[in-house]
Amino acid sequence: MRELADNPLTRWRVTRDDRARARIYSKSHDLWEHVLRETSIAEAASEFADYLIDGLDRSVATRENGTVSPDRIVDVQFSAFMADPLAAVRTIYDRLGLELTADAEARMRAFLAAHPQEEHGRHRYRFADTGLDPGEWRERTRRYQEYFDVPSEP
């Protein structure tokens, strides 16, 4: 993390909520299934949960200890990003003091049009599919959720 914090060009965009974490487990499952062996989302979640918790804790710690200056970080809720990706990008650019050129926005619009959200079929990311205990998960992520104002999802 120190190398990132020392690089003046480093910019961060962070998204976070239950569906984003469930997506990580689901994609880990996909990788295992296609590359290594058949597995389940619950097995992938079990394998990666501690690593993800460590990452969440570190993200809070880097904010609290000032490793990365707050003016170099923009937090975007996953649900807001998925609801309106271009609005989220505009917010990121604006908060970082960057210009979102008409050309860049046009290319983003073209990409989104060419790659609709469900182009490979509908995939629902549900925390329930992870097999993790919701009560234990809430407790282990409480610091993170409170610090970043991340709502619990049903």
Question: How much is the pLDDT for 33?
Answer: 55
d(CA 45, CA 29): 8
* Model confidence band, residue 80 (pLDDT cutoffs 50, 70, 90): confident
Taking only the tens place, the pLDDT of each residue in 87-130 is 999 998 898 888 999 999 999 999 999 988 776 777 777 888 88
Decide if 6 contacts 25 (C-beta within 8 A).
no
Residue 27 confidence (pLDDT): 56
Beta bridge partners of 14: 75
DSSP structure string for 103-137: HHHHHHHHHHHHS-TTTT------GGGG---HHHH
* pLDDT tens-digit map of 19-59: 665 665 565 555 555 555 566 778 878 888 888 899 889 98
Distance, first Cα to last Cα, the chain: 33
Beta bridge partners of 131: none
Q: Is the pLDDT of residue 84 over 90?
A: yes
Tell me what pLDDT residue 77 has. Answer: 86
Picking from 154, 133, 146, 153, the residue whose alpha carbon sits closest to that of residue 49 is: 133
pLDDT tier at 140, thresholds 50, 70, 90: very high
**pLDDT for the residue 90:** 93
Across 50-76, average pLDDT: 88
Question: What is residue 147's predicted lDDT score, i.e. its pLDDT?
Answer: 92
